[in-house]
A and B are shown apart, each in its own frame.
Chain A
Amino acid sequence: MAEPRQVLGSADPELRTMPVTPTEWRGFLPTESGPDRQSQASARPVVIACCGLVMACGLLLLALANTASVHGRSGYWLFWVGLLLIFAPAAWRLVAAPVARKERLLLLVMEGSFLYLAKVVREPSSFSFSDEFAHWRNADNALRLGHLFGFNPLIPATAKYPGLTDVTVAVARLTGLSIFSSGTIVIGAARVLLCLALFLLLERLAGPRVAGIGGLIYFANPNFLYWSAQFAYESLAVPLVFFAIWLALQAGADRQRAGWRLACLVAISAVVVTHHLASYALATILCGWTLAAWLRRLRGVQCYVPVGLALYAIGTAAAWLTLVAPGTISYLGPVLSRALSGTVALVLHHETSRQLFTSGGLVAPAWEQGLALTAVGLLLVGLPFGLVALRRHVEKHPFLATLAVGCLLYVGLLPLRLTASGQETANRSSEYLFLSLGLIDAMTVVWITVWRPTALGQALSAAGVVIVLLGGAAVSWNFYQRLQPDFSAVGVPTQPTADEVALAQWIKTNLGPGHRVGADSVDNLALGSYGEQYPVIPVADAADPHIWQVFFPTTIDPSVRAQIRTDRLHYLVTQQRLTQGRPPSGSYFANSEPKLPGDQLRSASLDKFDNAPGFSRLYDAGDLVLYQIGPGQ
């Protein structure tokens, strides 16, 4: 790729450093979207402010949808209209031309920020997703103990990647805020970094117009709305990955490379100490780029080979895995091996163990299914055009070859969504693979708008982008869990509520921390975090303690007592609402539990501890009860 020209000496700082679209691109991207027209267009603050106002209206509708849901009314359509108001303004402006670079960047950052606030308004007073409780425990350990790597009974592997804990604890210590507030701010800052890094990275490759649209398409990845906005280590690591890639691209384009390289080393190191898979993904991307560049060098073409950065990424990730976090292998191994076995079963025997759009026995509405499939279809249809156009430029910049492979990998992993074991792998990989999709499909969108430069052509292109965004939201989360439920009416709980948190805090205050407690999977989250207890749970299917054997029998028979002794339990927590149905996850206590008669837990199974000598009933909150196990049990 030709080095970007820098217009030095200009009074406008934007022109002074604006990376121009390389001359080679002008054969593909017509002059209407070339740099001259971009630089002539000035940002229109009133338009940006109007877009922000419309997005804020959408956010308010999401908050109202959540409020309606909490009070037992339907907020379903309010939710979708709210999302549409957040998506539409940015899609309309980013597809339009000419729009100034500054405006594109601001719109993308605003879009990403409002989508983050969409998660915040879902539950603004405490964490509610299961992984968030594990990371809350890490931060609480660090604040309480004063050091890192404290024991985490919920997800032990997370304690070995303290990047998120460090930043959260720093903010909490310096500002005096709670872990929840600090964590919310940290992930919000990471979201802003993601938007900036994404835009700059794509702009380096294909100019600001493709960068804006490509960033928007990235927001359509299934994990973007809620998963990558939660307080979890990957939510910090992925923005740092894109930041590192952008720094590496800058190092390749700038003759004075030392600064960019050093900054990239800092970013790579931060990724390694923050998340395992993100560090492996970053190392893989850098290696792919190195390989493509090296092959180009063999043909005698001079280009930048990021071999030093790739080796550093591999070395630090391997060193961290070996010296600090060897337990990561047993944590990730079962997930990857299940994905592999599911793939083999799919390919050889055409076995599909999962039904699309179905969870917990509930099926998503038909229009959502159609929307999601249409979105995936649009993404796939756009790929060939973009890849064909990209082919001419892959020779000129090896990193594009890496992105092209990413697109093909996305297509190859799609069938895994038909398997229960491979679905998670396909889903989690989309956070990285959508970088490729964003670039390729954005190029197709730009081509369409140039081919049909009428208002209708632009409107249809913008509508296509909005459909892709809405389709991504449709598959992002189970449709019945997108809004907070009416907790007084909900059957089997799917997340800890104020009841569970109150019980956990009572145990910590009155009985002390660190007790071994037997409870269902939802109560364990509160007990292991706010309660600072040791919930006895299987971790990644290793060393399954068979806790269900304590709860499933309807009488306190010798097997119950034997399991209590084996698990060395001090306390038990029973939740009567478990008897109202089957959890969406399919299990009450552990993945290995057997199928119950009638496929449902019975009240007698939980009531058996009442009035039983040796099982003291210490806490009664109606449905939620705590038992202390006496000596001799």
Chain B
Amino acid sequence: MKLHPSKDMQVTAALATVCAAIALMPVLSAARLPAGLLLALCLPGYGLARLLFPGRSLGRAELAACVLGLSLGAVALGGLLLNVVPGHLGRPAWAIFLATLTVACCAVASLRKPDEPGPSYRALVSRVAAKAAAAGRLRVLLLSLATITLIGVALAVSVQASTAGRLPLTLWLKPLAGHHVQVGVNPGAGTRTDLVLVVRSGAMRSRLAILPLDSTHTYVETLTVPVGAAEVVVDLDQGTRTLRHVQYWYSPTGSSR
């Protein structure tokens, strides 16, 4: 059979290759987001749809459903395959697999039944431009922009409400090797002042004043515990009030776990 490479098969295969290359870039760039989404959720399904349904026999809605459904299906099943090969579910494995799948489908599809003669790219662009210039399109554009803006505002309002002032003041203690412990204070929301750490262990008593803390700073201190101490107790005080309390029990031999 004489080869009749289809233009959109070529474009799809090239796009898959480019998206895989972008996804494999060592630096996280803004281009990785659209490239990754195209490669995972669109291109494999499009390649499979063109392979399974040669010629322009699908309507736009049918094609959209096949692109999305077959992409989701191919990725869901492809993960099982990648699970047993070297590289497993790493980024290179996914990029290479999805790009290869798309390119292979496009290659086989272009070897099958030739497409019906469609409009040239110039004719397509002219048609789109004519539609865009049609009366009423400006109104549609403005309404669509307003809709997208409202959606963005709704999401921003929700994000602001969900992340505002949620974390509490926290005191923690982490036993270290030897006779050391690490003590930390996370201030949570707002600014904290007049905080004092009161440390008691065996005969040791000490007070450590903490500089004012805000939500961007965490206070961490490493303390040395006297040998033979049965426990170490740390209180976080503000004035005469004890806000938080932590305590660590050593074994009877005096060594930490």
Contact = CB atoms under 8 A, between A and B. Distances in A.
Given A173-B23, A617-B248, A623-B168, 11 more contacts: A17-B59, A45-B140, A52-B147, A123-B162, A149-B83, A175-B23, A247-B69, A266-B74, A617-B247, A619-B172, A621-B244
B144 interface: yes
Given A146-B90, A263-B66, A619-B246, A124 B143 contact: no
A444 interface: no
Contact of B150 (A59, A66, A236, A506): A59
Interface stretch (B4-12, B28-36, B196-204, B205-213): B28-36
A340 interface: no
**Ranked 4 nearest A-B pairs via Cβ:** A166-B79, A174-B36, A175-B36, A49-B143
Interface string B235-257: 00000000011111101000001
A200 B171 contact: no
Nearest to A64: B157
Contact of B94 (A52, A170, A240): A170
Nearest to A246: B65
Given A176-B32, A197-B69, A263-B70, A63 B155 contact: yes
Consensus secondary structure, chain B interface: helix
B154 A60 contact: yes
Chain A interface mostly helix, strand, loop or mixed?
A: helix
Given A171-B40, A196-B61, A66 B161 contact: yes
Interface of A: 13-14, 16-18, 45-46, 48-50, 52-53, 55-57, 59-60, 62-64, 66-67, 70-71, 102, 105, 117, 120-126, 142-143, 146-149, 162-167, 169-171, 173-177, 185-186, 189-190, 192-193, 196-197, 199-200, 236, 239-240, 243, 246-247, 258-260, 262-263, 266-267, 269-270, 273-274, 484, 487, 497-499, 502, 506, 510-511, 611, 613-624, 628, 630-631
Contacts of B65: 193, 196-197, 200, 243, 246
A63 B60 contact: no
B39 interface: yes
A526 to B, nearest CB: 13
B37 interface: yes
A190 B61 CA distance: 15
Nearest to B61: A105
A120 to B, nearest CB: 7
A169 B79 contact: yes
A342 B238 CA distance: 56
A46 B76 contact: no
Contacts of B61: 102, 105, 196, 199-200
Contacts of B169: 621-622
A190 B40 CA distance: 13
A193 B72 contact: yes
B191 interface: no
